[in-house]
Chain A
Amino acid sequence: MTNETGEIRSTQRTQLNLVTKNNHGTARLTPAPPQGELVDSPLFPDAAKRELANPVQRKNLHHAMSTIRAKRTRVTAELENWEELRSAGEAIKNRVGRHLDDYLVQLEENLTKAGTTVHWARDAKEANEIIVGLVKGKLGPEDLPEVVKVKSMVTQEIDMNEALEANGVAAWETDLAELIVQMGHDRPSHILVPAIHRNRSEVREIFLEEMGNYGKAAPEDLDTEPKNLAAASRAHLREKFMRAHVAISGANFAVAETGTLCVVESEGNGRMCLTLADTLISVVGIEKIVPTFADLEVFLQLLPRSSTAERMNPYTSLWTGPREGDGPQEMHVVLIDNGRTDVLADEVGREALRCIRCSACINVCPVYEKVGGHAYGSVYPGPIGAVLTPQLRSMKNPVDRSLPFASSLCGACNDVCPVKIPLMELLIHERHKAVEAKKQRKSYNVHFEPIAMKATSVMFGNGKLWGAALGAETKVGGKVLGRFFDHIGPIPGPLNRWTGARDVPMVPTQSFRAWWDEREKNNGNKAKGDQK
């Protein structure tokens, strides 16, 4: 079947299996993601090389990152007790992790008491089977085979959309950035703003080309104004919200004491899904628990200020089971392990389970800023991704073993993490594990870790050199990054000679840290000047 519009009403479109240009010649209900599995991505250095070759993305990222960093610094400084808040967040999450069995049992009990059905899933496959089964059981023969989704990292992690698609159900992303990614046949590149690598004219092109294939088309005269792009997404998604029978969400927090779930968002698409559908399925990683409702006072201050750098995100929804006459009358929670208990078993590595997915560490990461999120081959990019992904996936594949090296160890991430995860220390811990894993696998054919280890120690042992290199110019900095992994060709200028023959000593001017701090200060001042 083609994507001819004809007389077909847009509301009937999801009954069609479309073959569009970007669907690789297969009939699909939703836009196809890029071919290949995420975990099949090239090793970080190779991926980094590819991403570095994309100047538009680098520019988009640089702009976005410097803006948000400056804002975050300002809004966290507003709270006099910020450091105490971080310590409280750290302690509460440690308490949950160290007594997770108790809290899981308590959460299940209170969810059930509130009228929510609880399911448990050992891994992604089991989770998807549960979700697909629930969805199919809820959709009648007359209903469109579709669900609306609130942005959720864990559903990305288990590749739920593709599992639904394979079972004849369209999963529609409703967060603007996720919509851009989905319509763009793309993958998210950031956990908070998944389309951060796209600029406004790219978004316009994606909307014009794809929206009409899957529902209400974008207006023909759509320009590149973010306001008008957002309006196009509003119109496109509204018909999907209005007819939705089943919605799928994640949860930012699950309160053990009351069985309350919490979703934090900005656009209202979350509220639409959480309110208008008849059935709500919430997919929740087992580490998402907070002990008491009162604990939310800590996390709902830490999270928005660290993530979007706002005093508060526009909308926060809290619900405790179904309520008669208001919102979905049937609620399910799927509690997912999918490697989290492996992380918990590592007494050092378990600190990463405190993560509240704010993305602050990603936003300050100089490596992320150069290469973007796709290079990490995981739904979790940046420092937290480099620490968490290899633990969740057990370093079975070379991509995971390369990730702990995807860092400059500059320490900026440690300073910003609202729950005080010592990301640098964890990266070093994971590097060690990667080398051990390598030793045990004689068949493993890429001699990558030792090279990277050596290169990192030389390069970052000499912070001045790295600082000078990064500071020189985006392009050079990017190439240096590649060069240090020994996977990217020669670079111009004095660094080439250093990395090639080491016959010309660099003239270091500043330590990396000092350079970084100064750069942040300048960015901050600039951003302040831009303020209304």
Chain B
Amino acid sequence: MNAKDEILQRVRKALADVKETDPALDVPVAWRYEQPTAMDDVIGRFVERVEDYKATVVRVGGSEAEIAQAVVDGLTSIEAKDAILPVGLPAAWRSAVEAAGITILSDEPQLTNDQLNAAGAVVTAARVGAAESGTIMLDHADDQGRRALSLVPDAHICVVRTDQVVSDIPEAVGRLQDSVKQQQPITWISGPSATSDIELSRVEGVHGPRTLYVVVAG
């Protein structure tokens, strides 16, 4: 018998006591999915929680010009000489970055790992923000780029729009359903890379970007 059949047979034998064949009837789950968590100020909570992770957070209005300026400010604050901008980002951001004298690196054709490693920063949009846990979720659509872009460079400037921010994980997972169905990879980011492996003392920055600069727009 092949391994699959044998394992399934073992499972069925082990579960001889289970008579109900419908999993939902057999074990009801008392849980309502996608429930919002009550809070007075969702955006305020999001900002506070992301800051808790020692990320820098700035709030700006929703116009492209304001966002573009905030992106440039972010890049300037870390003294980035160049930055990767995924193709799907608004043209206004590109021209502002260029006007500030920062070289734009294109990922088409794809940059090599070494080029990513040498890049000063990456700028991306986001898909969802979860306030309670302070989590930013990327689904790597065109305005966020492939996964390596927001991973290898040492600084990540991430723009989250206020209409993307929800109360907590349940609502956020609901908003990611479509991306999963389209088989897009998803990355959740809660603060910069960190470790607590040495005496449980927290150190920011191991392999992922050491600097996370979040622009909350709208």
Is the interface on chain B under 10, 10 to 19, 20 to 34, or 35 or more residues?
35 or more
Closest Cβ neighbor of B108 among chain A residues? A325
Closest Cβ neighbor of B187 among chain A residues? A317
* A335 and B7 in contact, given A230-B205, A268-B208, A311-B133 (Cβ under 8 angstroms): yes
A120 and B2 contacting across the interface, CB-CB below 8 Å = yes
A63 and B199 contacting across the interface, CB-CB below 8 Å = yes
B206 and A91 contacting across the interface, CB-CB below 8 Å = no
Question: Is B95 close to A, CB under 8 A?
Answer: no
Taken residue by residue from 101 to 135, chain B's Cβ proximity to chain A (1 for < 8 Å, 0 otherwise) reads as: 00000000010011001000000000000101111
Number of interface residues of A (CB under 8 A): 95
Question: Is B3 close to A, CB under 8 A?
Answer: yes
Those of B164-206 within 8 Å (CB) of chain A: 168-170, 172-174, 176-177, 180-181, 183-201, 203, 205-206
A contact residues around B117 at 8 Å (CB): 238, 242
Those of A333-359 within 8 Å (CB) of chain B: 335, 337, 341-342, 344-345, 347, 350
B contact residues around A345 at 8 Å (CB): 13-14
B4 and A120 contacting across the interface, CB-CB below 8 Å = yes
Those of B19-46 within 8 Å (CB) of chain A: 21, 23-24, 26-31, 33-34
A105 CB to closest chain B CB (Å) equals 7
A229 and B198 contacting across the interface, CB-CB below 8 Å = yes
A contact residues around B30 at 8 Å (CB): 84, 87-88, 91
**A271, A325, A347, most chain B CB atoms within 10 A:** A271
B138 CB to closest chain A CB (Å) equals 10
* A88 and B31 in contact, given A311-B49, A311-B190 (Cβ under 8 angstroms): yes
Closest Cβ neighbor of A308 among chain B residues? B196
Q: Could you say which of A94-102, A155-163, A501-509, A513-521 contacts chain B?
A: A94-102
Number of A-B contacts (CB under 8 A): 253
Question: Is A326 close to B, CB under 8 A?
Answer: yes
A199, A271, A314: the one contacting B194 at CB < 8 Å is: A314
A430 CB to closest chain B CB (Å) equals 17
Taken residue by residue from 120 to 161, chain A's Cβ proximity to chain B (1 for < 8 Å, 0 otherwise) reads as: 111000100000000000000000000000000000000000
Closest Cβ neighbor of B135 among chain A residues? A312
Question: Is B147 close to A, CB under 8 A?
Answer: yes
B29 and A120 contacting across the interface, CB-CB below 8 Å = no
* A286 and B7 in contact, given A91-B30, A95-B23, A95-B27 (Cβ under 8 angstroms): yes
B173, B183, B199: the one contacting A300 at CB < 8 Å is: B173
B17, B170, B192, B203: the one contacting A347 at CB < 8 Å is: B17
**B21, B148, B169, B177, most chain A CB atoms within 10 A:** B169
Question: Is B15 close to A, CB under 8 A?
Answer: yes
B195 and A267 contacting across the interface, CB-CB below 8 Å = yes
A102, A291, A314: the one contacting B193 at CB < 8 Å is: A314
A297 and B34 contacting across the interface, CB-CB below 8 Å = yes
B173 and A293 contacting across the interface, CB-CB below 8 Å = yes
A contact residues around B161 at 8 Å (CB): none
B125 CB to closest chain A CB (Å) equals 16
A275 and B148 contacting across the interface, CB-CB below 8 Å = yes
Question: Is A227 close to B, CB under 8 A?
Answer: yes
Closest Cβ neighbor of A316 among chain B residues? B188
A46 CB to closest chain B CB (Å) equals 28
Closest Cβ neighbor of B24 among chain A residues? A95
C-alpha spacing A56/B127, complex, angstroms: 47
A121, A180, A272, A325: the one contacting B3 at CB < 8 Å is: A121
**B31, B49, B140, most chain A CB atoms within 10 A:** B31
B11, B147, B170, B198: the one contacting A104 at CB < 8 Å is: B11
A241 CB to closest chain B CB (Å) equals 7
B23 CB to closest chain A CB (Å) equals 4
Those of B49-105 within 8 Å (CB) of chain A: 49, 52-53
C-alpha spacing A294/B32, complex, angstroms: 10
A contact residues around B49 at 8 Å (CB): 311
B185 and A234 contacting across the interface, CB-CB below 8 Å = no
B contact residues around A198 at 8 Å (CB): 198
B199 and A199 contacting across the interface, CB-CB below 8 Å = yes
B124 CB to closest chain A CB (Å) equals 13
C-alpha spacing A310/B174, complex, angstroms: 22
What are 7 A-B residue pairs whose CB atoms fall within 8 Å in the complex? Answer: A120-B2, A196-B200, A258-B180, A275-B148, A312-B188, A314-B190, A314-B194
Q: Which A residues contact B (CB, under 8 angstroms)?
A: 60, 63-64, 67-68, 84, 87-88, 91-92, 94-95, 98-105, 108, 114, 119-122, 126, 174-177, 180, 193, 195-196, 198-200, 203, 226-227, 229-230, 233-234, 237-238, 241-242, 258, 260, 266-269, 271-272, 274-276, 286, 291, 293-294, 296-298, 300-301, 304, 308, 310-321, 323, 325-327, 335, 337, 341-342, 344-345, 347, 350
Give the top 3 A-B pairs by smallest Cβ distance, nearest first.
A268-B208, A268-B207, A345-B14
